[in-house]
């Protein structure tokens, strides 16, 4: 269970998902302070995606999407100059209700959000997972598969959502899906769109030539 107030680390291009690991390099003074405080407490950090236009007010409090994911610092390496290399392990989705005023870094009141998958949906989820595996198979031929088949369905779907090459706003949309089944279906749609776009943009080798 998440505490009611957590530190929030907003970034323009990173979305964390439950059950997935995220390496981060911490160099800004305010976020060094955040990590130091967190290491002396519950080691939890909430990741949130910055909304478009964040560049104008980055040093202040640019707007962020209200749904994020809290992660536990599972590994930390403090460098001699005060920077940190850390690894977050995604734990729990949350929705921000309000932010604390002031402070060196951002802290928010949050409500936990659960990705429910009831027993009736497990069979549907497994069918959608098979669609994902079939869609990804051509890109994995001749390579070591990054996601073994033994992974649980939730870890499999969330890891693909985080690691595949989607735009940050697309990953945010995946995170905000109301259930794991919905996320898996949306992931299938995104990959199908990507595959279609790749086929359309690839020139045909059999066309006529102008003279």
Q: What pLDDT sits at residue 70? A: 98
The verdict on 25 and 89 lying in the same domain is: yes
Q: What pLDDT sits at residue 68? A: 98
Say if CB 187 and CB 161 are below 8 A apart: yes
pTM score, whole prediction? 0.87
The verdict on 135 and 192 lying in the same domain is: yes
> What distance lies between CA 39 and its chain's CA centroid?
22
Structural domain for 29, as ranges: 5-113
Last residue of a domain, one of 90, 113, 136: 113
Neighbours of 63 (CB within 10 A): 13
Q: What pLDDT sits at residue 195? A: 79
In a domain, 172, yes or no: yes
Three-state DSSP at 113 gives strand
Q: What pLDDT sits at residue 151? A: 85
In a domain, 207, yes or no: no
Last residue of a domain, one of 59, 80, 113: 113
Q: Count structural domains, the chain.
A: 2
Angle between helices 153-163 and 168-175 (to 10 degrees): 160
The verdict on 139 and 102 lying in the same domain is: no
In a domain, 130, yes or no: yes
96 pairs with which residues across the strands?
A: 110
Q: What pLDDT sits at residue 209? A: 43
Q: What pLDDT sits at residue 106? A: 95
The pLDDT profile of the chain, 211 residues, written as one tens digit per residue, is 899 999 999 999 999 999 999 999 999 999 999 999 999 999 999 999 999 988 887 778 899 999 999 999 999 999 999 999 999 999 999 999 999 998 999 999 999 998 876 777 888 998 999 988 888 876 554 444 455 667 899 999 999 999 998 999 999 999 999 999 999 999 999 998 887 877 776 555 444 344 3
For residue 77, what are the CA distances in angstroms to 80, 117, 152?
A: 10, 36, 29
For residue 162, what are the CA distances in angstroms to 135, 165, 185, 196?
A: 17, 8, 15, 21
The verdict on 106 and 173 lying in the same domain is: no
Q: What pLDDT sits at residue 167? A: 95
Closest CA to 22 of 1, 52, 2, 45: 45
In a domain, 208, yes or no: no
Q: What pLDDT sits at residue 139? A: 56
Last residue of a domain, one of 82, 113, 144: 113
> What is the full DSSP assignment across 114-173?
--B--HHHHHHHHHHHHHHHHHHHHHHTTS--SS-TTS-HHHHHHHHHHHS---HHHHHH
Say if CB 69 and CB 58 are below 8 A apart: no
Phi, psi of 77 (to 5 degrees): -135, 110
């Amino acid at each position: 269970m998440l505490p009611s107030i957590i530190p929030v680390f907003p970034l323009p291009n990173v979305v964390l998902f439950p059950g997935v690991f995220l390496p981060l390099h911490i160099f800004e003074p305010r976020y060094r302070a955040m990590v130091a405080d967190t290491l002396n407490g519950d080691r939890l950090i909430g990741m949130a995606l910055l909304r478009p236009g964040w560049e104008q007010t980055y040093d202040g409090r640019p707007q962020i999407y209200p749904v994020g994911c809290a992660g536990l610092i599972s590994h930390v390496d403090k460098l001699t100059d005060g920077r940190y290399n850390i690894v977050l392990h995604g734990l729990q989705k949350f929705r921000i209700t309000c932010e604390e005023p002031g402070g060196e870094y951002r802290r928010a009141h949050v409500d936990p959000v659960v990705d429910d998958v009831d027993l009736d949906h497990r069979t549907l989820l497994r069918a959608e997972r098979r669609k994902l595996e079939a869609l990804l198979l051509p890109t994995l031929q001749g390579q070591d598969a990054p996601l073994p088949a033994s992974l649980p369905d939730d870890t499999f779907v969330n890891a693909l959502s985080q690691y595949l090459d989607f735009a940050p706003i697309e990953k945010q949309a995946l995170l905000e899906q109301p259930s794991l089944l919905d996320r898996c279906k949306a992931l299938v749609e995104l990959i199908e769109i990507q595959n279609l776009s790749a086929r359309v943009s690839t020139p045909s080798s059999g066309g006529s030539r102008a003279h």
